[in-house]
């Protein structure tokens, strides 16, 4: 801790940055909250309630703390969400926050890949027994990070029901405007009744509380992508495609829910069959530790059941994993992981899959896939793939990666520009090619030149100018008098109106029958 006119007080690990700021504000004697924010973070609009770490980075830049990462890990949600990332991606995330100093939660949600997910609860929640322990040890009660995670409505330590907004006035004790620490009575109206969310005591919820507490205490290595993939492989097998329904059934049974929508409401995050499928295969690109912990609980339960039964799992020997390959894609996999893309794309990239197919298979929007792959291929091909010897296989893999790199360097969309060729040989080639195009349009149902014009106007113009006889035989021009729609010959009532006129007496007579006036 650096010396400063204002220092962060001693607090238990696992409290929120909001608690630390409020406690320091109370101890400093500042009359205005703006003064505390300016001294702590250098700006009066620093977000300290739902922030993941941007405010801690600002405090580091002001010299209040020496290491913002340590503060974020035990005084914010950074440690909880970073535990579900690889170390390289977590460091890249931290570097991004330090460089831009985000002042709101939305950019941080974008970095985690969860733009629609609420990272914290709307109201601040506290535990009655935790307040007593904090007051006995520190003289103040604090807001704990684990109590603010969506889906957690019991204290993981004491298994007590958490208290939320006041039942008398409906306001939360702590917010960006109301700087209060948790207390047994409401600071606004003095009421001692607080809202509590009832939750069923299912086996899945109890196991979820234990895992969340374990991660928030700093022991979340089991949630890293590599460890998680190994756990899912041991529990569900290598080919987990056919086990999605079984996993979903076990998950709903553990939580005593009837549908995934009901389970999503209980967890506080959206979980779908597609998420389960991609998560167990290691293809999920987002950072969703809440849903991942639910799958970890199912995997551990299945492994425990297998051990209790004392049965040996009979799976076929994976010959591919025992084969000594002459090349390694470790560099490409590491680059994909840092950029936030699934590691499984390394195999598809080396095999020459198109960007469109990978976008459809992985469910990643094409612009985002292209943008993130551009960061991957900023490295050289030799860094992405390491070959023991320069054989034909390694050359083919490097060629496929080089083709993807060239594709990323080109324009996003290549427009098909119609270019005319004046040579006799080129003209004959164009006639053959354009006739085949017209025939394909005819097979699709094109019957008139107007329909062909809407499909491909350049093709119709070229055939009319350079291949008029064949074009007339295939799609004859319709005379103006026989065309339907705009420009047709007027008839009916208009013809009758034009053929009559009024005479000197005001009667309607035929124009042809009225003799001319010779006077």
Give the tens place of pLDDT for each residue, 23-44. 888 877 777 888 888 877 777 7
Distance of alpha carbon 23 from alpha carbon 180, whole angstroms: 9
DSSP 386: E
- C-beta of residue 207 within 8 angstroms of C-beta of residue 254: yes
- DSSP class of residue 193 equals -
Distance CA 232, CA 238 (A): 8
Which residues are bridge partners to 500 per DSSP? 510
Specify whether the CB–CB gap between 101 and 57 falls below 8 A: yes
What pLDDT, in 10s, does the model give residues 355-396? 888 888 887 888 888 888 888 888 888 888 876 566 667 777
Residue 386 φ then ψ, to 5°: -115, 120
Tokens of 143: 């807001």
Spatial distance between the Cα atoms of 501 and 512, rounded to a whole number of angstroms: 10
For the chain, what is the total number of helices (H) and then of strands (E)? 26, 4
Task: For tokens 């009837």, name the residue.
Answer: 258
Label residue 484 exposed, middle or buried (CB < 10 Å: 0-12, 13-18, 19+).
exposed
359: helix, coil or strand? Answer: helix
Strand partners, 508: 502
Residue 26 has a CB neighbour count (10 Å cut-off) of 15
> In a structure prediction context, what are the per-residue pLDDT tens digits for the chain, which is 519 residues long?
343 434 455 567 778 878 888 888 887 777 788 888 887 777 777 777 666 666 677 666 666 666 667 767 766 677 788 888 888 888 877 777 777 555 444 555 655 666 666 777 877 889 999 999 988 888 888 888 888 888 898 998 888 889 988 888 888 888 877 888 898 889 888 888 888 877 767 888 988 998 988 888 778 888 888 888 888 888 887 665 557 888 888 899 889 888 899 998 888 888 888 888 888 887 776 788 899 999 999 988 888 877 777 544 444 444 334 334 456 788 888 888 877 788 888 888 888 888 888 888 887 888 888 888 888 888 888 888 876 566 667 777 888 888 888 888 766 654 444 455 444 457 888 888 899 899 989 988 888 898 898 888 889 889 998 899 999 999 998 887 777 665 545 555 544 445 556 666 666 666 555 555 544
Q: How many CB atoms lie within 10 A of CB 355?
A: 16
Buried b (16+ CB within 10 A) or exposed e, 214-240: bbbeeebebbbbeebeebbbebbeeeb
Rounded to whole angstroms, how far apart are CA atoms 439 and 442?
Answer: 5
pTM of the model: 0.58
- CA 190 to each of CA 22, 134, 177: distance values in angstroms, whole numbers, following the listed order: 20, 21, 18
Q: What token pair was written down for 98?
A: 């330090």
Cα separation, 455 vs 420, whole angstroms: 19
Q: Six-digit token pair at 438?
A: 């017209």
Strand partners, 154: 161
The Cα angle at residue 291 between residues 289 and 295, in degrees rounded to 5: 105
Determine contact, residues 15/75, Cβ cutoff 8 Å.
yes
């Amino acid at each position: 801790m650096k010396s400063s006119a204002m220092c962060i007080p001693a607090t238990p690990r696992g409290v929120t940055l909001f608690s630390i700021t409020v406690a320091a504000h109370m101890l400093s004697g500042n009359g205005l909250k703006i003064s505390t924010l300016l001294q702590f973070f250098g700006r009066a609009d620093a977000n300290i309630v739902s922030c993941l770490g941007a405010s801690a980075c600002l405090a580091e830049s002001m010299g209040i703390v020496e290491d913002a990462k340590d503060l974020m890990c035990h005084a914010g949600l950074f440690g909880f969400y970073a535990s579900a990332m690889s170390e390289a991606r977590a460091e890249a995330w931290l570097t991004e926050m330090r460089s831009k100093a985000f002042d709101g939660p939305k950019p941080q949600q974008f970095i985690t890949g969860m733009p629609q997910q609420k990272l914290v609860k709307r109201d601040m929640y506290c535990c009655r027994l935790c307040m007593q322990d904090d007051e006995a040890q520190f003289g103040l009660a604090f807001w704990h990070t684990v109590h603010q995670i969506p889906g957690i409505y019991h204290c993981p330590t004491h298994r007590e029901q958490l208290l939320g907004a006041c039942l008398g006035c409906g306001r939360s004790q702590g917010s960006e405007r109301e700087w209060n620490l948790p207390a047994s009575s409401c600071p606004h109206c003095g009421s001692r009744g607080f809202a509590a969310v009832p939750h069923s005591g299912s086996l899945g919820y109890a196991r979820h509380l234990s895992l969340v507490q374990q991660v928030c205490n700093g022991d979340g290595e089991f949630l890293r992508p590599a460890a998680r993939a190994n756990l899912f492989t041991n529990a569900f097998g290598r080919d987990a495609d056919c086990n999605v329904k079984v996993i979903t059934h076990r998950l709903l049974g553990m939580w005593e829910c009837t549908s995934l929508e009901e389970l999503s409401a209980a967890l506080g995050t959206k979980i779908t069959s597609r998420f389960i499928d991609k998560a167990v295969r290691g293809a999920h690109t987002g950072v969703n530790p809440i849903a991942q912990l639910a799958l970890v609980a199912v995997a551990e339960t299945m492994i425990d059941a297998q051990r209790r039964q004392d049965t040996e799992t009979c799976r076929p020997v994976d010959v591919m994993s025992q084969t000594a390959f002459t090349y390694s894609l470790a560099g490409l996999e590491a680059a994909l992981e840092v950029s936030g893309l699934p590691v499984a794309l390394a195999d598809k990239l080396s095999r020459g899959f198109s960007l469109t197919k990978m976008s459809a298979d992985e469910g990643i929007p094409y612009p985002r896939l292209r943008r993130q792959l551009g960061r991957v291929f900023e490295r050289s091909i030799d860094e992405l793939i390491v070959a023991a010897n320069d054989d034909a296989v390694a050359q083919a893999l490097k060629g496929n990666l080089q083709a993807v790199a060239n594709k990323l360097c080109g324009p996003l969309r290549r427009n098909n520009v119609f270019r005319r060729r004046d040579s006799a040989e080129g003209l004959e080639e164009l006639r053959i090619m354009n006739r085949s195009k017209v025939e394909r349009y005819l097979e699709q149902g094109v019957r008139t030149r107007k329909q062909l014009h809407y499909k491909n106007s350049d093709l119709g113009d070229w055939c009319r100018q350079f291949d008029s006889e064949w074009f007339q035989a295939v799609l004859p021009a319709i005379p103006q008098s026989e065309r339907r729609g705009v420009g047709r010959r007027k008839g009916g009532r208009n013809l009758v109106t034009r053929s009559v006129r009024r005479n000197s007496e005001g009667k309607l007579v035929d124009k042809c029958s009225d003799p001319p006036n010779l006077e």
